[in-house]
């Protein structure tokens, strides 16, 4: 069930996911293109290399669980789930249309591969901590991955959950913060800086690593190290570039980007050239 790929394969998967993101958001302009492009490598490595799951039985109790707590980053999330085999790739075309379960904010009404409904920011880590505690009690080998937003870490509940995870030495928990440095109102340091976030998480009892969140090999090594770390939960600060893979969008500072057809066509052409 755990499908290991070589680097070239994973790179191609990431590009395919990015193309889906562009195609999904282009028709309505609704969705988070830059965030999806930026997080594509995190999703690729977690779902196609690191986590053990069973697409035929998504609620398999011994699965690894991935919580997307920035639940608005759904274009990349749904593209990943579909390519991983949880539902048909054709369904991606219904993204953000009336009546489709592929909503902007992911909801567990889609199926148990949405591990919790997390669009109200700051709640997901607590749920993951609860699952991780239960798994320890039940003697399961499952691991729990949380894709957290950097802006989301301003919510107090995140720190309550982190404090408990550290105190409980939850080494089956791995928090990956998608550190793209942009929140709704702009760059994080202009709103409320998180820094020094590594020191903060260290002091909460986490084993911390900082990686290039758009470097597949670095992400895989970070997960390896996290898995080998005993007696502490792991925190991976994955620095990502919003718009990664589409030069015309890389680093543009929009949280809610509009996606005019001209820009979408250009993005698609750039990505296709990379396949």
Partner 1 sequence: MNETLTQLEAADFINRSFKRLPRAYGDALVEAAKVDPRIVALCADLVPPTETDLFRDELPERFHNVGIAEANMIGMAGGMARCGEIPFCHSFCAFITKRVFDQITMQAAYPNLPVKIVGFLPGVTTLLGVTHQAIEDVAIMRSVPNMAIFEPSGPEYHATMVKLALDWNGPVYLRMKRPETTPADFTPQKLEIGKGVLRREGSDITIISAGLCVGESMTAADTLAKEGIETRVVDMASIKPIDQTLILESAARTGAIVTAENHNIIGGLGSAVAEVLVEEGIGLPFKRVGVMDQFCEGGTTSYLMKKFGLDATAIVLAVRQVLEKKE
Binding residues vs partner 1 (CB under 8 A) = 29-30, 71-72, 96, 98-99, 101, 103-105, 107, 109, 117-122, 151-152, 154-156, 183-185, 191-192, 247-252, 254, 257-260, 262-263, 265-266, 268-270, 272
Which residue's structure tokens are 């913060």? 177
Nearer to partner 1, 48 or 204 (CB): 204
- Residues in Cβ contact with 91 at an 8 Å cutoff, skipping those fewer than 6 apart: 78, 82, 100, 102
State in angstroms the smallest separation of the CB of 103 from partner 1.
4
CB of 257 vs partner 1, minimal distance in Å? 6
Shortest distance, CB of residue 256 to partner 1, whole angstroms?
9
Determine the Cα–Cα distance for residues 213 and 259; give it in Å rounded to an integer.
Answer: 24
Q: Pairing between strand 144-149 and 207-212?
A: unpaired
Looking at beta carbons only, is 2 or 193 nearer to partner 1? 193
**CB 188 → partner 1: shortest distance, Å?**
9
Query: Could you give the 3-state DSSP secondary structure of residue 47?
Result: helix
Q: What are phi and psi of 211, to 5 degrees?
A: -135, 165
Provide the Cα torsion 39, 44, 50, 54; round to 10°: 120
Token pair recorded at residue 97:
């249309």
For residue 209, how far is the Cα from the chain centroid?
17
Closer CB to partner 1, residue 11 or residue 274? 274
Minimum CB separation of residue 34 from partner 1 in Å reads 10
Of the pair 151, 166, the CB lying nearest partner 1 is at: 151
Taking the C-alpha atoms of residue 85 and residue 67, their distance in angstroms, rounded to an integer, is 18
Tell me if 254 sits within 8 A of 229, measured CB to CB.
no
What is the closest distance, in whole angstroms, from the C-beta atom of residue 174 to partner 1 in the complex? 22
What is the token pair recorded at 108? Answer: 């567990």
At its nearest, how many Å lie between partner 1 and the CB of residue 56? 27
Q: For residue 46, how many other CB atoms are within 10 A of its CB?
A: 23
- In DSSP notation, 233-254 reads -EEEEEE--TTTT-TTTTT---
| Beta carbon nearer to partner 1, 10 or 188 | 188
Nearer Cβ to partner 1 (134/192): 192
Measured from the CB atom, the residue of 98 and 195 that comes closer to partner 1 is 98
């Amino acid at each position: 069930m755990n499908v290991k790929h070589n680097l070239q394969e994973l790179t191609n998967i990431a590009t395919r996911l990015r193309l889906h993101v562009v195609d999904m958001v282009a028709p309505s302009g609704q969705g988070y293109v830059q965030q999806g492009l930026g997080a594509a490598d995190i999703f690729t490595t977690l779902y196609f290399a690191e986590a053990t799951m069973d697409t035929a039985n998504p609620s398999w109790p011994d699965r690894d669980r991935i919580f997307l707590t920035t639940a608005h980053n759904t274009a990349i999330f749904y593209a990943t789930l579909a390519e991983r085999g949880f539902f048909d790739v054709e369904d991606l075309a219904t993204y953000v249309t009336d009546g489709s379960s592929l909503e902007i904010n992911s909801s567990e009404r889609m199926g148990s591969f949405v591990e919790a409904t997390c669009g109200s920011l700051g709640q997901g880590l607590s749920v993951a901590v609860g699952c991780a505690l239960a798994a320890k009690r039940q003697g399961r080998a499952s691991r729990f991955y949380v894709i957290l937003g950097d802006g989301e870490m301003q919510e107090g509940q995140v720190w309550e959950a982190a404090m408990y995870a550290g105190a409980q030495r939850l080494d089956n928990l791995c928090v990956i913060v998608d550190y793209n440095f942009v929140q709704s109102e702009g760059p994080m340091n202009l709103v409320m800086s998180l820094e020094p976030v590594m020191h903060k998480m260290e002091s909460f009892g986490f084993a911390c690593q900082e990686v290039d969140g758009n470097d597949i090999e670095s992400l895989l090594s970070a997960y390896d190290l996290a898995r080998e770390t005993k007696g502490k939960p792991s925190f991976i600060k994955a620095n990502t570039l919003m718009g990664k893979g589409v030069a015309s969008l890389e680093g543009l500072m929009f949280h809610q980007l509009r996606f005019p057809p001209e820009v979408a066509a250009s993005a698609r052409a750039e990505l296709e050239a990379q396949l």
